[in-house]
Amino acid sequence: MEQTPKTTQELTFSERLKESTRQTHDKVDEMVMSKEPFANTDNYSKFLQAQHEFHETLRPLYLDELLNKHLPGLNELGRADNVIKDMKDLKADPATDVPARPALAGIEGIGWLYCGEGSNVGAAILYRHAGKIELNDEFGASHLAAHSDGRMRHWREFKAKLDALELSEDEQAQALKGAQEAFAYFKSVLQAVYG
Ligand code: HEM
């Protein structure tokens, strides 16, 4: 029997985040792959530069005291240091000509965090591609590696924390806006580093 799609009201908050960013995600996915980041280490270094901008932008959110109260353990999840380590492995310098890093705070930040954490789900695919150019969790691709609890388990747990926030309709709308902005920002840095 065919299932009737849920109405927006019936979706959980994390389902709404996914639903509202599905199209923009697929565009970013296409854009990443069109740059052939795993064709060689030069292309991959540019991808790292984009990841560096993205994860440094997220860094203060992962450390935010209030957000940590509502999302326990958040401060252990950021991958900005892993990106820096991967850049050192490949002797890649940060990009210079990139859009300014936005200062993030408040409810919109939750949407940005959704984007940052969720990106580790698709990273399973990227990690496999990285293996083809001899990169792995110990050298060059530590930021794409799975969480020690397992990628999907960790993701389910994170989404459960988002759903437990019980945000009002207005707050959810702000978070959805933040998620859209996060994808748009990633797209802009990707464009800047690959030219
Ligand atoms: C070539 C690049 C990428 C590929 C191949 C890819 C692939 C995927 C795949 C297969 C999933 C799981 C989808 C599902 O469970 O239905 C996923 C989830 C996700 N990805 Fe990507 N992704 C890429 C890039 C990105 C980037 C750059 C970001 C963010 C800046 C991102 C953010 C997300 C988010 C937030 C989710 C979670 C969706 C959800 O279940 O709510 N992805 N990705």
Half-sphere exposure of 156 (CA within 13 A, CB side): 5
130-150 per-position pLDDT tens digit: 999 999 999 999 999 998 889
Half-sphere exposure of 34 (CA within 13 A, CB side): 11
Enter the tokens of residue 172.
């959810």
CA of 19 to the centre of ligand 1 (A): 12
Average pLDDT score over the chain = 95
CA-nearest residue for atom 28, ligand 1, is 119
* pLDDT surpassing 80 at residue 177: yes
CA of 21 to the centre of ligand 1 (A): 10
d(CA 113, CA 58): 7
d(CA 8, CA 10): 5
* pLDDT surpassing 90 at residue 6: no
Q: What is the pLDDT of residue 22?
A: 97
Q: Which atom of ligand 1 is nearest to the CA of 33?
A: 1
Q: Which atom of ligand 1 is nearest to the CA of 159?
A: 41
* pLDDT surpassing 70 at residue 2: no
* pLDDT surpassing 70 at residue 59: yes
69-115 per-position pLDDT tens digit: 999 999 999 999 999 999 999 999 999 999 999 999 889 999 999 99
